[in-house]
Structure 1
């Protein structure tokens, strides 16, 4: 298999993975904003609740943003167009970078371990789309 083909498969797979993640966060935030606020990211953790107070409008808007990003990521994977992929990943990179910068400046009420874990996860949210942009650019050459 050629280098271009591997890059294409990795980029499309990454788009699908990121799309599914964002949709899986967006749907509960839109349909059950209080539950999302109290329970995200799950597994006994509640990172969003570490930034009170609860606001149903804000949680629904966050869910809509996640859902929109997820649909766009899945559409980019489906269309397999380099320009669409670049635009969608660049948009996600902007969103993820602004999100990370906020959380680097604000600790909320999270414990040290939760704060470190949440910031690490948000950093991966920047590095992942950035790596996919680099891979996608490489498949153009």
Structure 2
């Protein structure tokens, strides 16, 4: 179970690192090159760079949770991730009209998975991890 938890945390951290670096250092590219982002103009470099920094902070939390595998830290990191992913999924589920059915279905599946995966890992962590883990495992 610990391997599953660590793998999921590392996958989410990698996603957050990629997103955070892209939006922090290449905000115009993110706005112009990621489908659906430009549906809600105007472009704001400040907003994208701030979002990138917060996303990198979430990645740090996820990486720390993957390293220590303490139940409290894992749940806290995943709760922080869900604080973003739940509203993000709701937004996209309500704004699918602007694209064709294939990309819209793909986007909807991905944003739903971005909520379900952390919830599943929280449930697994609650059952599989002790709260008094002393160090890396």
TM-score, structure 1 as length reference:
0.83
Cα 1:113–1:61 change in 2 (3 A) is farther
Aligned: 1:71 with 2:89: no
* Structure 1, unaligned runs of 5 or more: 1-6, 41-45
Q: Which residue of 1 aligns with 2:25?
A: 31
Tell me the distance in 2 between the aligned counterparts of 1:56 and 1:81. 37
- Please say if residues 70 and 129 of structure 2, whose CA atoms lie closer than 8 Å, have aligned partners that are also in contact: no
Specify which of 93, 111, 119 is matched with residue 104 of structure 1: 93
Report the CA distance between 1:108 and its aligned residue.
6.7
RMSD: 1.7
Deviations 1:83-108 (A, max 9, x none): 11111111212221111111222237
- Please say if residues 47 and 118 of structure 1, whose CA atoms lie closer than 8 Å, have aligned partners that are also in contact: no
Tell me the distance in 2 between the aligned counterparts of 1:32 and 1:23. 13
Q: Which residue of 1 aligns with 2:112?
A: 123
* Structure 2, unaligned runs of 5 or more: 131-137
